[in-house]
Amino acid sequence: MTLWQSFILGIIEGITEYLPVSSTGHLIVAQRLMGIGVEGAEAKEAADAYAIAIQAGAILAVLGLYFRRVIQMFKGLIGKDEEGRKLLIALVVAFLPAAVAGLTLNSLIKEYLFGMWPVVVSWIVGGIAILLIADWQKKKLGGVDFSEMTWRMALMIGLLQCVAMCPGTSRSLMTIVGGLLVGLSLKSAVEFSFLLGVLTLGAATAKDTLDSGELMLSVYGWESLAVGALAAFVSAAVAVKWLVGFLQKNGLKIFGYYRIILGICVAGLLWGQVINA
């Protein structure tokens, strides 16, 4: 992997991580087009680990942008901010289902679902779901803020997040939609999705780095990892700041069309054997 390839993968990761389009799916396609991770089982393991490790940059971007929320939760932890305490509890409750599912199903998901056809199907199905949800969301009035969120609402969002363990589904999509379904306002659903991503992505990054980090570094080197993470940090910061305002003005529908068109295009590349499944 060249540093330019690392940079491109980092940009893709940062832009797509918090958009409802699936960063994993985009990275798998990009790696296939670049010929990364196709040389055998070890190469694929290293490429998969790299795609997850550079999420660290996107995580740091959200921590920086929502630093006031992080401080609020810390104050809640020590009993000095009731709203911060409620938000922290909600995030932990929402995180637990994915933590359990990840520990028990991670190897099976990587073995059977980290391929192009599952991603294509998830893109198209998710796109259709977005179009249906977008029409419903337009008719939905208001919604509650973090301060009124219950642990049951958080648990429902966490259960829906587990669906996103299938590559191509999009963690952001499932958690934003989950927030809307349980009654959060769009702004609160998006921000809760971002903050939940810090826990979920952080845990996934730590686990894969421990499991395959040595192999990843031996194949690609620390320079590629640093470039990818830095590019992900910058592009995620821009994408996150843009997304909140965009969704409030335009809704989710454009992402539904994007997913369907992308899924059809990638299916064409697979049928034409331009990229490998």
- The pLDDT value given to residue 136: 73
At residue 270, what is the residue type?
L
Say what the pTM is: 0.88
User: Tell me, what's the pLDDT at 165?
Assistant: 84
- Alpha helix locations (H) across 18-163? 23-34, 41-53, 55-65, 67-77, 82-112, 116-139, 151-163
pLDDT at 153: 93
Provide the pLDDT for residue 113: 67
Predicted local distance difference test score (pLDDT) of residue 96: 94
| Residue numbers in the chain where pLDDT is lower than 70 | 111-113, 137-142, 277
Kindly provide the b/e burial profile for residues 14-24, where b requires at least 16 CB atoms within 10 angstroms of the residue's own CB. bbbbbbbbbbb
Provide the pLDDT for residue 142.
Answer: 65
Instruction: Please report the pLDDT score of residue 140 as a whole number.
Output: 62
Give the pLDDT confidence of 178-202 residue by residue, as tens digits: 998 898 988 888 899 999 999 998 8
**What is the distance between the alpha carbons of residues 11 and 234, in angstroms, rounded to a whole number?**
8
pLDDT at position 145 = 81
Among 106, 80, 139, 123, CA closest to 206: 106
Q: How far is CA 178 from CA 77, 85, 94, 182, 191, in A?
A: 25, 21, 11, 6, 12
- Tell me the domain boundaries of the chain: 3-271
The predicted pLDDT at position 101 comes to 85
How confident is the model at residue 248, as a pLDDT? Answer: 76
Q: So what's the pLDDT on residue 244?
A: 80
Please tell me the predicted confidence (pLDDT) of residue 156: 94
What's the pLDDT at 154? 94
- CA–chain centroid gap for 69, Å, is 20
Please tell me the predicted confidence (pLDDT) of residue 267. Answer: 93
pLDDT at 137: 66
User: Is 20 within 8 Å of 176 (Cβ atoms)?
Assistant: yes
Per-residue confidence (pLDDT) for residue 128, from 0 to 100: 93
The residue with tokens 């989710």 is 252
Find the angle CA(172)-CA(53)-CA(237) to the nearest 5 degrees.
50
The tokens for 92 are: 């932990």
